């Protein structure tokens, strides 16, 4: 199943210009041979940089590093700080929504992702993330809308199809084949060669006492 991707902006230019000389010196110092033992992981590096000079960029990097390690409770205060320091940056809202989703606070996750969507309406990652949140909220029509947006924005159709097929199967397994059907049917439309989606569609139709779909290719 497709997960919410962590957004990290590493582009040069305007972002790089916001890293002050003091912070740059701190980062360069971290690369000296004498201190290699101290900087044994990225978390320590970012924590030290924040101690030298706080800013949304390093808070965001630290937060996404902690997310990668599934350390969501530790990531949350840093991502909340990043949002507070730079509320105009969609990636901070997206990453905070990721933490909120993984810790079961779906309404808060949706609120943060809605801000990210407003700030970055053409971002594939944000559309996919909102699709995941809507699915977890059992808003399956809303989830489909967001995943369709993601495909229009350039997301891999086959990957989205596989995710929708899995989502539909999970809904069907909870005894809700009628609600599962649109998810699985859209998966088949996006990738007609996806055998598992065709099988899943046949099963949900059978559960509803309806006809069969075209047999899957062997």
On whether the CB atoms of residues 72 and 103 are closer than 8 A, the answer is yes
State the Cα–Cα distance between residues 6 and 26, nearest whole angstrom.
Answer: 25
The span from the first CA to the last CA of the chain, in angstroms, equals 24
Residue 191: the pLDDT is: 96
Q: How many CB atoms lie within 10 A of CB 69?
A: 12
Mean pLDDT score, 203-211 = 86
Q: Where in the chain is the domain with CATH 1.25.40.10?
A: 1-143
Classify domain 156-218 at the CATH class level. mainly alpha
What six digits make up the tokens of 110? 């949706």
pLDDT-derived band at 195, boundaries 50, 70, 90: very high
Q: Which residues contact 117 (CB under 8 A, 6 or more apart)?
A: 90, 126, 127, 130
What is the rounded CA–CA span in Å between residue 61 and residue 5? Answer: 14
How many angstroms separate the CA atoms of 39 and 50, rounded? 14
- Beta-carbon contacts of residue 131 (< 8 Å; ≥ 6 apart): 2, 143, 144, 145, 146, 147, 149, 150
Q: Is the pLDDT of residue 28 over 80?
A: no
Superfamily of domain 1-143: Tetratricopeptide repeat domain (1.25.40.10)
Average of pLDDT values for 181-209? 94
pLDDT computed for residue 31 by the predictor: 53
pLDDT digits (tens, 9 = 90+) for 61-83: 899 989 988 999 999 999 999 99
Whose CA is closest to 25, among 53, 47, 44, 62? Answer: 53
Give the model's confidence band at 29: pLDDT under 50 very low, under 70 low, under 90 confident, else very high.
low
Supply 193's token pair: 């060669």
Spell out the alpha helix ranges (H) of the chain. Answer: 14-17, 21-30, 42-52, 56-68, 72-85, 90-102, 106-119, 124-136, 140-152, 157-172, 177-190, 195-207
How much is the pTM? 0.76
Residue 41 has a pLDDT of 78
pLDDT at position 207 over 80:
yes
3-state secondary structure of 6: coil
Q: pLDDT tens for residues 94-139? A: 999 999 999 999 999 999 999 999 999 999 999 999 999 999 999 9
Greater pLDDT, 207 or 185: 185
Count the alpha carbons within 13 Å of 182 in the hemisphere toward its beta carbon: 11
pLDDT in tens, 30-52: 555 444 444 447 888 888 888 88
């Amino acid at each position: 199943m497709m997960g919410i991707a962590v957004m990290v902006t590493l582009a040069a230019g305007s972002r790089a210009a916001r890293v002050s000389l003091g912070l740059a010196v701190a980062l360069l110092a971290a690369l000296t041979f004498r201190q290699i033992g101290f900087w044994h992981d990225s978390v320590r590096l970012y924590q030290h940089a924040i101690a030298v000079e706080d800013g949304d960029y390093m808070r965001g990097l630290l937060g996404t590093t902690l997310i990668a390690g599934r350390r969501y409770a530790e990531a949350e205060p840093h991502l909340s700080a990043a949002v507070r320091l730079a509320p105009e940056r969609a990636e901070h809202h997206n990453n905070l929504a990721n933490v909120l989703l993984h810790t079961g606070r779906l309404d808060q996750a949706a609120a943060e992702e809605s801000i990210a969507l407003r700030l970055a309406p053409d971002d594939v990652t944000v559309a996919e993330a909102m699709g995941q949140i809507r699915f977890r909220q059992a808003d399956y029509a809303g989830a489909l809308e967001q995943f369709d947006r993601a495909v229009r924005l350039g997301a891999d159709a086959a990957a989205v199809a596989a995710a929708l097929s899995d989502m539909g199967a999970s809904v069907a397994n909870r005894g809700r084949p009628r609600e599962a059907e649109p998810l699985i049917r859209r998966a088949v439309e996006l990738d007609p060669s996806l055998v598992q989606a065709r099988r899943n569609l046949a099963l949900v139709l059978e559960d509803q006492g309806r006809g069969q779909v075209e047999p899957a290719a062997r």
